[in-house]
Amino acid sequence: AQTVTQSQPEMSVQEAETVTLSCTYDTSESNYYLFWYKQPPSRQMILVIRQEAYKQQNATENRFSVNFQKAAKSFSLKISDSQLGDTAMYFCAFISLSLIQGAQKLVFGQGTRLTINP
């Protein structure tokens, strides 16, 4: 079974600082996707960034980037120039491509509560 672990329950940084959230996962599959989702106090889950396991290049979306280490099964999220609006729960998630073709089941970590202070 796949598992996703986020070892940092809470983090807090000052506005404009850079912060890195950690995530490790366990799987025997070779084809999969990894995601970071953000859940602000409104509870709306928002997709932040995705990484295909077959791609060596780390994904980047504006201020958000990942450090994907496939051999180590590590998938960290870096937020640069953090903003007050980045305050949220951040979930790392995994989806395997080896299930029944097309079946899509996200496995989530427990989340990291990130607070950006002014």
Partner 1 sequence: KAGVTQTPRYLIKTRGQQVTLSCSPISGHRSVSWYQQTPGQGLQFLFEYFSETQRNKGNFPGRFSGRQFSNSRSEMNVSTLELGDSALYLCASSSGAASYEQYFGPGTRLTVT
Binding residues for partner 1, per CB under 8 A?
Answer: 33, 35, 37, 42-47, 50, 91, 95, 97, 99-100, 102-111
Mapped onto helix, strand or coil, the DSSP state of residue 9 is: coil
Closer to partner 1 by Cβ: residue 19 or 53: 53
CB of 13 to partner 1, least distance (A): 23
**Residue among 13 and 107 whose Cβ is closer to partner 1:** 107
| Cα 86 versus chain centre, distance | 14
Q: How far is the CB of 17 from partner 1 (least distance, A)?
A: 27
Distance CA 41, CA 94 (A): 23
Smaller CB separation from partner 1, 33 or 64: 33
